[in-house]
Every structure is written in structure tokens, then in C-alpha cells.
Amino acid sequence: MAKPESNILNPQLLLEIANAKMPFGKYKDYYLRNLPEAYLTWYHSKGFPAGKLGQQLATIYEIKLNGLEYLLQPLIVR
């Protein structure tokens, strides 16, 4: 069975992450790209929420963990 492609390689997912906002909680209305790394690390240890938001948070966590935030800069819609 073929291994599915990583979501981090999906340009549409990256475009959405670059412009998505946190829908609830302490960081409501913060862009996901601007969430503190400590907050994402906490989610990583506790478990990301199910669904699309969890996928987006897990991806932004990996992006920040690996210092790849610069990849999102050209995707930001102003």
C-alpha cells in the first residue's frame, strides 16, 4: 500500500494555515501562524483537536518546530 503524501506538502493546506484564525479559547482570532510555540507544544502533548483545525494546528506546530515559518510569508493574504 502506498504511503499517503504528507499534508505539509499540500499547497492548499499551507495557504489555509497562513490565513486561518483560531476559532476559540485564549488565542481566539489570532492567526494560527502567530500562535505561541508554547501553546502549540501544549496541544502536541495533550493531543490536537479532531478534524481540520487539529490538522492545521499539528502542521503549524511542525512548521514552527523546524523553523519553516518563512514558507508561509508569501501565502499571507493582506
Rounded mean pLDDT, 31-52: 96
pTM of the shown model: 0.83
Domains of the chain, residue spans = 8-75
Q: Which of 69, 56, 57 is nearest to 12 (CA)?
A: 56
pLDDT tens-digit series, residues 5-33 = 455 567 788 899 999 999 999 999 999 99
**Distance (Å, rounded) from C-alpha 69 to C-alpha 34?**
10
Strand residue runs (E) in the chain: none
